[in-house]
A and B are shown apart, each in its own frame.
Chain A
Amino acid sequence: MTNTVNKIMPTAKPFSLSSSRSLNTQAYRFFGWVLPPIFGLFLLVVIWALIAEHTPELPGPIKTWVSAVELFSDPFYDHGINDKGVGWNILASLQRVGLGFGLAALIGIPLGFIIGRFEFVARMTAPVISLLRPVSPLAWLPIGLLVFKAANPAAIWVIFISAVWPMIINTAVGVSKVPQDYMNVAKVLNLSEWKIVTKILFPFVLPYMMTGVRLSIGVAWLVIVAAEMLTGGVGIGFWVWDEWNNLNVEHIIIAIFIVGIVGLLLELMLTQIAKRFSYE
């Protein structure tokens, strides 16, 4: 294309050459950016199809797709407590995650600030955190059931306990990393504790905190499926278990994709929020 343009308008050579080249690099960049992920997903579907071909119990991609179209054509039906549309199940899970995660943020972030700010509290809480953090969140479920005497608060409790650690730890690390220079400024300006928190600590810690929040939401969403499998009711985890009992394998595969996509969206959303709060 560059050649024909050059023949017609030789004077325009440098311009047309450079613009077509930049167009080419742009296109190249775009495809270089977009093609590998598409290829990766395609490969996943191919492998899945091949395995399904040789495993009669496992539905292939096409069968699953048909089932998904049918499922999502009416996501919000309600046929009683054990038969609700997939939309309701997703919303129920999101609500639990939202509540558990929100409570974790409400307690974890201020606690992280206090731990990072006061050496004594840090040393006091260190053994407790080290002891409790590696415990599988599901191990807390019986305690939740015992204390709350109901499945739903117990599930929220499990989400809370799994989401709270990254927020406490990341916030505390952020606070302890505040440069001494800034604290000297605070001392010389004789700033009040409130001003130190709002004008120095909070802006500095925010990126660390957002990392904690992102890790938390990831863990919370990871745990909800398992928790709901055990507690039952409405929710994506329970739905997976229910479809397993019905031997509806297409729906189980769809659920895997739903969990993955919702988790991805949550993560993306928080990354965007984190970018907004960055002062750089």
Chain B
Amino acid sequence: MEKANADKYVQLEHVDMTFNTKKGTFNALKGINLNIKEGEFISIIGHSGCGKSTVLNLIAGLLQPSEGLLFCAGREIAGPGPERAVVFQNHSLLPWLTCFENVYLAVERVFSTETKAQLEARTHAAIELVGLSHSSDKRPNEISGGMKQRVGIARALAMEPKVLLLDEPFGALDALTRANLQDELMKIMAKSGCTAVMVTHDVDEAVLLSDRVVMMTNGPSATIGEILEVKLPRPRARLALAEDQEYNHLRSEVLRFLYERHAKKSA
């Protein structure tokens, strides 16, 4: 296979997305162009309804674009694939399976040539990575929301994806749990080195975690308004950054984009 350009690991070219609804066609996205580098952490931020989740679903292969092309590692994205794992907003664990079985389901499919012992070892490793070894035999309704989201992350990481797609992964969690999980996600991403695309509506989260923040204009026909480079050194510490000038400057840049230039009229 042709070696993919590391600067254009994930590529979106002139992507348009139109949905056919009962009231007629709805043009959600218009002319999205984005190149994501290998190992980069990208956040997509915008007001609700701007189609940021649609962008993620397009990269995931859950949706097909109406116009334009998407590539991952030099190949066109034709559907979902194991090299692009998704962490869903509402964790989407299967309630009748234990945490272990939920992760195993993913592992089993991706590494179908391995033995059962190897698959189990992979599953245990993924669950340990998110610090949930003690709860691996529990069912999702027996653990907290934060723990469920950890299992969701473990399930995605266990597939050893090249690109991790996170759809408002911490949106449903309380502020403290969210901060904890953000810190852990940063550690995990540093370890695994995989590329990540995260949809969020949390400005702090976007700036803290990302290398670049993609800011989207409001829909319909939403597109990329601006891209903000976050050149803060890693590892990043939440407390130190709170006082950091550069961090606060970036933060207010995003805020200005969202609330001055592209404020949502009917909120």
Residues in B with CB closer than 8 Å to A279 are 95-96, 139
Residues in A with CB closer than 8 Å to B61 are 187
Cα(A181)–Cα(B148), bound, Å: 15
Taking the nearest CB of chain B, how far is it from the CB of A206, in angstroms? Answer: 9
Cα(A203)–Cα(B79), bound, Å: 26
A199, B105: Cβ atoms under 8 Å?
Answer: yes
Interface string of A60-84 (1 = CB under 8 A from B): 0000000000000000000000000
Contacts known (A190-B82, A195-B109); A184 close to B94, Cβ less than 8 A: no
B85, A188: Cβ atoms under 8 Å?
Answer: yes
Return the chain A residue nearest B107 by Cβ: A189
Residues in A with CB closer than 8 Å to B247 are none
Cα(A39)–Cα(B80), bound, Å: 63
Partner of B94, one of A188, A190, A199: A199
B60 interfacial contact with A, CB 8 Å: yes
Residues in A with CB closer than 8 Å to B92 are 181-182, 184-185
Partner of A200, one of B60, B90, B94: B94
A182, B81: Cβ atoms under 8 Å?
Answer: no
Which 7 A/B pairs are nearest by Cβ-Cβ distance?
A279-B96, A203-B96, A181-B92, A188-B86, A187-B80, A188-B80, A189-B106
B81, A190: Cβ atoms under 8 Å?
Answer: yes
B62 interfacial contact with A, CB 8 Å: yes
Cα(A204)–Cα(B93), bound, Å: 13
A150 interfacial contact with B, CB 8 Å: no
Taking the nearest CB of chain A, how far is it from the CB of B95, in angstroms? Answer: 6
Partner of A191, one of B62, B79, B109: B109
Chain A: interface residue total (CB-CB under 8 A)? 17
Q: How many A-B residue pairs have CB under 8 A?
A: 48
Contacts known (A199-B97, A279-B96); A184 close to B81, Cβ less than 8 A: no
Cα(A191)–Cα(B61), bound, Å: 14
The contact size tier of chain B is 20 to 34
B88 interfacial contact with A, CB 8 Å: yes
B141 interfacial contact with A, CB 8 Å: yes
- Of listed A182, A188, A199, A204, residue having the most chain B CB within 10 A: A188
Residues in A with CB closer than 8 Å to B96 are 203-204, 279
Taking the nearest CB of chain A, how far is it from the CB of B41, in angstroms? Answer: 20
Residues in B with CB closer than 8 Å to A189 are 82, 105-106, 109, 159
A193 interfacial contact with B, CB 8 Å: no
Return the chain A residue nearest B86 by Cβ: A188
B94, A203: Cβ atoms under 8 Å?
Answer: yes
Partner of A181, one of B79, B80, B84, B88: B88
Residues in B with CB closer than 8 Å to A182 are 92, 94
A188, B90: Cβ atoms under 8 Å?
Answer: no
A280 interfacial contact with B, CB 8 Å: yes
Contacts known (A185-B88, A189-B106, A190-B80); A280 close to B94, Cβ less than 8 A: no
* Segment 220-238 of B: residues with Cβ below 8 Å from A: none
Interface string of B99-132 (1 = CB under 8 A from A): 0000001100100000000000000000000000
Cα(A204)–Cα(B94), bound, Å: 9
Taking the nearest CB of chain B, how far is it from the CB of A187, in angstroms? Answer: 5
A185, B141: Cβ atoms under 8 Å?
Answer: no
Partner of A195, one of B80, B105, B139: B105
Contacts known (A181-B90, A199-B94, A280-B141); A188 close to B109, Cβ less than 8 A: no
Return the chain A residue nearest B57 by Cβ: A184
Given pairs A181-B88, A280-B141, 9 additional interface contacts (CB within 8 A): A182-B92, A182-B94, A190-B80, A190-B81, A199-B94, A199-B105, A204-B96, A279-B95, A279-B96
Return the chain A residue nearest B102 by Cβ: A185
Taking the nearest CB of chain A, how far is it from the CB of B259, in angstroms? Answer: 31
Partner of B62, one of A187, A192, A195, A200: A187
Residues in A with CB closer than 8 Å to B80 are 187-188, 190
Cα(A188)–Cα(B5), bound, Å: 25
B90, A190: Cβ atoms under 8 Å?
Answer: no
Residues in A with CB closer than 8 Å to B85 are 188
Residues in B with CB closer than 8 Å to A192 are 109
Taking the nearest CB of chain B, how far is it from the CB of A235, in angstroms? Answer: 40
Cα(A41)–Cα(B139), bound, Å: 43
Cα(A191)–Cα(B80), bound, Å: 11
Return the chain A residue nearest B84 by Cβ: A188
Residues in B with CB closer than 8 Å to A187 are 61-62, 79-80
Residues in A with CB closer than 8 Å to B141 are 280
